[in-house]
Amino acid sequence: MKKKIIATLLCACMAATAFAGCGSEETTDQNTDAGTSAADGTEVSDAGTAEDGEVVKLRMMAYNAESSRASYLKYLDEQLPNIEIEFEFVSQDNFDNVLNAQLQAGEGPDIMELGGQTRLLANAGYLLDLSDQEFITRYADAGIQPYTVDGKIYAAPLQSWYEGIFYNKTIFEENNLTVPKTWDEFIQLHKTLEEKGIKPQTMGAQSYEPMMKQSIALVNNEFYSDEANKDFDEKFNKGEASLAESWLPAVQEWYKIIEEGCLTQDMLGLSYDQALDEFATGKAAMWQCGPWAVETIKEKNPDLDFGMFPIPGVDADEPGWLVGGPGSAFAINADSEHIEEALAVLELTATEEAQQELVKDNAGSSFVEGVEVDLGEIYTDCEEAFAAGHVYAPWTAVWTNGNAVTEGYGKSLQEVLSGTKTVEEALADADEINKGLLETLE
């Protein structure tokens, strides 16, 4: 019965999962035939553990495109010759539905990329408990916490994710503009650019994610930065605290960007890809996104000189905040016929060499202790925020019903931009979703 309830929740809540929250779709070839052969003629097995010289095929389902894992997957292939990874990409807007259907049918992937749905799947018994695995001890607590349920660890974190404001350095330099230190300066920057005939910010608001994340960045700045609010998320998980009551002042501060005409209704018709193209081709000075977009930007415009700055708050003396934190993670299907091989993949992933391969195609910090990653010049303006630990996304870090709540909240913010709802109503909508799911899980 519990699995049926969890399944209903997953089907009802399409993923708004962490890390590459704005990724565009990519298709991959899928080969599910049993008993195929590897390129060298070695027999490939789809069932049981590998015998000497036998190659076992593992299916890895992910919502981040294969291109964002290319170096890492190549490394796995080189280091684990007896394991063949069959990578299956499923776009975020359908990931939970596809994964849930496969798990219910007993046909789920061996390894699955997860974010906010980890708690639901763990409670349903679909995930292998990794708590006693030696490689788990290599990870910092900050990376493990989002994947810990009732004291047990069900997934191994990949690199961190973060989202800030990309900006065109050439446009800024030519117009004597500087990176804003406050939210009011950010809004004034929009007006200055517009006066010069330059589109200030592009946003693919056809997706609910950009406004959801941008508004939560203001919540990070004005609410979570206060130590007095450190226990809010746990109270929210228990239904003892509400967004409408606690977040409202910060979200009202964010709403100024709509009141001042910096975010416009026409953005509701822009997709992620269209917004990316506008920024990459110099048609807009700023765009909110994360490292997963960098390679595509460079492909579209190799000469573009751009950086990223954190989303600022009210206080100029405080570093701004990035939305992010522990990104996605890899979990193992508890019913996999290849547990031993899947564990071998996760064990290798927890090494410094594999972590460096992970970030080659998608910049982020590592949660494996002792591994240092050079993020590059693009993120120089974010260094102070990183040093202060100003990177947070409550829905992936702590919330039990994170995906559903942020999706509902984000879609209500689309209505706020269209002029049919208030921010008070958007927050109340999110509270109602959380309340309903908590009642269902009782």
pLDDT tens for 364-420 read 888 888 888 888 899 999 988 887 888 889 988 788 888 889 999 999 999 999 999
Q: Is residue 122 part of a domain?
A: yes
* Distance (Å, whole) CA 427 – CA 397: 19
Query: 319 and 276, same structural domain?
Result: yes
Burial 217-233 (b: 16+ CB within 10 A, else e): bbbbbbbbbeeebeebb
Q: What is the pLDDT of residue 193?
A: 98
Query: 406 and 347, same structural domain?
Result: no
User: Confidence band (pLDDT; 50, 70, 90) for 31?
Assistant: very low
Q: Is residue 412 part of a domain?
A: yes
Share of residues in the chain with pLDDT > 70 (%): 88
- Domain span holding position 407: 162-325+395-441
Q: Is residue 51 part of a domain?
A: no
* Side chain identity at residue 38, one-letter code: A
Please list the residues that pair with 153 across neighbouring strands.
148
* Distance (Å, whole) CA 332 – CA 128: 5
Q: Is residue 278 part of a domain?
A: yes
User: Confidence band (pLDDT; 50, 70, 90) for 292?
Assistant: confident
Give residue-wise pLDDT tens across range 424-435.
999 999 999 999
Query: 176 and 98, same structural domain?
Result: no
Query: What CA dihedral angle connects 159, 165, 171 and 173, to 10 degrees?
Result: -80
Q: Is residue 46 part of a domain?
A: no
Give residue-wise pLDDT tens across range 92-150.
878 999 999 999 999 999 999 998 788 889 999 999 999 999 999 999 887 888 899 89
The pLDDT of 166-174, averaged and rounded, is 98
User: Higher pLDDT residue, 99 or 327?
Assistant: 99
Q: Is residue 187 part of a domain?
A: yes
Asked if residues 326 and 367 have their Cβ atoms less than 8 Å apart, the reply is: yes
User: Which are the contacts of 356, defined by CB distance < 8 A and separation ≥ 6?
Assistant: 371, 373
For the chain, the distance separating the N- and C-terminal CA atoms, rounded to the nearest angstrom, is 13
Q: What is the CA radius of gyration of the chain?
A: 22
- Number of folded domains in the chain? 2
Q: What is the pLDDT of residue 53?
A: 67
The pLDDT of 259-269, averaged and rounded, is 97
* Distance (Å, whole) CA 161 – CA 21: 9
* Side chain identity at residue 121, one-letter code: L
Query: 400 and 350, same structural domain?
Result: no
- DSSP reduced 3-state for 199: strand
Q: What is the pLDDT of residue 117?
A: 84
Query: 343 and 313, same structural domain?
Result: no
CATH number of the domain bearing residue 309: 3.40.190.10
Query: 229 and 196, same structural domain?
Result: yes
pTM of the model: 0.74
Q: Is residue 38 part of a domain?
A: no
The two tokens of residue 53 are 């010289």
User: Whose CA is closest to 268, among 190, 343, 208?
Assistant: 208
The two tokens of residue 189 are 């920057």
Q: How many CA atoms lie within 13 A of 365 on its CB side?
A: 20
**Domain final residue, candidates 305, 335, 369:** 369
Weakest mean pLDDT among 69-83, 158-172, 342-356, 359-373: 359-373
**Please, what is the average pLDDT of the chain?**
88
The two tokens of residue 173 are 């330099």
Query: 272 and 245, same structural domain?
Result: yes
Q: What is the pLDDT of residue 10?
A: 55
Chain-centroid distance, C-alpha 134: 26
User: Confidence band (pLDDT; 50, 70, 90) for 267?
Assistant: very high
Q: What is the pLDDT of residue 26?
A: 38
Asked if residues 111 and 58 have their Cβ atoms less than 8 Å apart, the reply is: yes
Query: 317 and 337, same structural domain?
Result: no
How many distinct helices (H) and strands (E) make up the chain? 19, 14
Give the strand pairing for 156-157 and 329-332: antiparallel
Q: What is the pLDDT of residue 243?
A: 98
18 has pLDDT over 50: no
Q: Which residue has the tokens 């359908």?
A: 94
Give the strand pairing for 322-325 and 284-289: unpaired
Query: 205 and 68, same structural domain?
Result: no
Asked if residues 198 and 171 have their Cβ atoms less than 8 Å apart, the reply is: yes
Give residue-wise pLDDT tens across range 39-84.
344 444 454 455 556 899 999 999 988 988 999 999 999 999 999 9
Query: 211 and 81, same structural domain?
Result: no
Q: Is residue 49 part of a domain?
A: no
Query: 288 and 272, same structural domain?
Result: yes
Helix axes 402-418, 423-441, angle to 10 degrees: 160
Share of residues in the chain with pLDDT > 90 (%): 68
Q: Which residue has the tokens 């706020």?
A: 416
Weakest mean pLDDT among 30-34, 37-41, 200-204: 30-34
Q: What is the pLDDT of residue 35?
A: 32
* Side chain identity at residue 432, one-letter code: E
Q: What is the pLDDT of residue 52?
A: 59
User: Confidence band (pLDDT; 50, 70, 90) for 313?
Assistant: very high
Query: 90 and 189, same structural domain?
Result: no
User: Which are the contacts of 374, defined by CB distance < 8 A and separation ≥ 6?
Assistant: none
